[in-house]
Structure formats: C-alpha cells, structure tokens
C-alpha cells in the first residue's frame, strides 16, 4: 500500500459553497462522484496515521462531505479507526435523520472540521443516538443506528449537506451555553 495522499482539495470555511444546501444524488452513481468518495475515504484513513499526517502536514479527520470538495451532492464518507490499520468505512448517500435520542452530548475537547483551519472555543449540542435512512452506492436504501462519537460525526456531515458548519451551532455570546444539560464524551 502506498502512503501517497489522493489529490483532493478541501474547501476552507470562507468558501460560500459550504453554506449552500447540497443536491440529492441520483443513481446509478456518476463515476466522478464515486471516485471522489473513494479518494475521500483513503484521505481520511491516511490522515489518521500520525506519520502520514505529519509528513503531509494534515489534520486527522473522520468524515468528509462531498461539498467540502466542491461537489454539491448529498454524499459523505466516514472512516472509523478500529486500530491495527483496520477501519469501519461508511459511504452515505442522501441521508436523513429519522429519529434521535432526547439526550444531548458534546465533544469535550471541541469539534473540529477539515474545512475550519482555526481553533474554535465552544460546544456543539448533538444527539447521543440517531437513526438515519440513507442509500449505499448501488442506490439501495438502508437504515442505520449510530451512537456517541459516530452519531456526532454523522450529524456533523449531514449538517454539511445542509450548508451548516459546526461553528454555526456554537452560541457566539455564550460558547458553553447549557453545557450542564449535556453529557461530555
């Protein structure tokens, strides 16, 4: 396996496209979209390898939405590092959250985003558990339940598809608002 990074360019938060709603994906998949999804998952997995991340001066990421690459389609990938070079890979098209817990959680050290290249203070309220309906790369519908950190990543990526960045969800006047009503993970 080569450690070379795929040739992708991640948009910075100042790009107006990141505040636009992405369009539904149609099936069969456009070959360019499929290639971008494949490149994105490889990028994420290599970004989670400390040596590669240091070599290329990139930050580790778990999820990447196509809009972050300038492709305005409702699609994203998530790569969950299981250790020992193994990953859970998720290729998600046209997702929607169909149910969620009442319990709210937040990332203790704060959420990050490969499109936000600055430190951000504050917490982002997220549901502890979600159920999503989405489609795989063959256009087959599936239902998936996610909890804790994976639920946060999926909500973060779905927000991207709706033109919302995590920084938009932080209360500007009170960045830690209602922290006591949520559980830190």
Alpha-carbon span 67 to 74, nearest angstrom: 8
Residues 6+ apart with CB under 8 A from 32: 71
Q: Which of 117, 121, 96 is nearest to 108 (CA)?
A: 121
Q: What is the CA radius of gyration of the chain?
A: 16
Q: Active site residue: 13, 23, 157, 184, which one?
A: 157
Alpha-carbon span 147 to 153, nearest angstrom: 10
Would residue 157 show up in a list of annotated catalytic residues for this protein? yes
Residues noted as catalytic: 157
């Amino acid at each position: 396996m080569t450690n070379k990074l795929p040739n992708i360019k991640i948009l910075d938060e100042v790009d107006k496209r990141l505040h636009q709603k992405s369009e539904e994906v149609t099936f069969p998949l456009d070959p360019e979209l499929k290639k971008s999804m494949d490149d994105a998952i490889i990028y994420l997995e290599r970004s989670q390898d400390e040596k590669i991340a240091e070599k290329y001066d990139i930050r580790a990421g778990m999820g990447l939405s196509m809009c972050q690459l300038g492709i305005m389609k409702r699609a994203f990938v998530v790569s969950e590092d299981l250790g020992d070079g193994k990953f859970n890979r998720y290729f998600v098209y046209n997702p929607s959250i169909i149910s969620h817990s009442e319990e709210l959680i937040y990332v203790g050290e704060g959420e990050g985003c490969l499109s936000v290249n600055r430190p951000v203070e504050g917490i982002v309220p997220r549901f502890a558990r979600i159920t999503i309906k989405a489609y795989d790369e063959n256009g087959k519908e599936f239902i998936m339940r996610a909890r804790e950190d994976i639920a946060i990543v999926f909500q973060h990526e779905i927000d991207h598809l709706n033109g919302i960045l995590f920084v938009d969800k932080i209360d500007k006047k009170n960045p830690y608002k209602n922290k006591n009503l949520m559980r830190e993970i």
